[in-house]
């Protein structure tokens, strides 16, 4: 049986941005430190359609919002830059 999925929203700060290359495809991931202080850094994919309303590219130190899906295999997604 599948474990129930719990969807929560979190806030954090980008600590690092790293490219991950698999064969010929390269993808950027942001390492995010959650503001709630619980747990370790989260690796969240920076996709080509992640940028909302023409904002600038993500940089280290940006405050961001993300979605955390907790279940059998937890994952973070939906990275969005917060307004200053």
Of residues 2, 14, 74, 4, the one with CA closest to residue 50: 14
**Domain assignment of residue 20, given as a range:** 6-81
User: CA 78, CA 84: separation in Å to the nearest integer?
Assistant: 19
Q: Judging by beta carbons within 10 Å of its beta carbon (0-12, 13-18, 19+), is residue 31 exposed, middle or buried?
A: middle
pLDDT score recorded for residue 27:
86
pLDDT digits (tens, 9 = 90+) for 55-75: 557 889 999 999 988 877 888
In order, the DSSP letters of 33-46 are EETT--S--EEEEE
Residue 45 structure tokens: 């994919």
Does a structural domain hold residue 64? yes
- The tally of domains found in the chain comes to 1
For the entire predicted model, the pTM comes to 0.76
pLDDT digits (tens, 9 = 90+) for 15-49: 999 988 888 888 889 999 999 876 678 889 887 65
Does a structural domain hold residue 12? yes
User: CA 25, CA 49: separation in Å to the nearest integer?
Assistant: 16
Does a structural domain hold residue 1? no
Q: What is the CATH number of the domain that holds 48?
A: 2.40.50
Does a structural domain hold residue 76? yes
């Amino acid at each position: 049986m599948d474990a129930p999925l719990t969807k929560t929203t979190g806030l954090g700060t980008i600590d690092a941005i790293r490219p991950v290359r698999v064969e010929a495809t390269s993808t950027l991931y942001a390492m995010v430190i959650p503001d709630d202080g619980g747990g370790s850094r989260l690796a969240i994919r920076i996709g080509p359609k992640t940028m909302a309303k023409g904002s600038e590219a993500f940089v280290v130190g940006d405050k961001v919002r993300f979605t955390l899906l907790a279940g059998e295999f937890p994952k973070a997604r939906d990275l969005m830059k917060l307004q200053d």
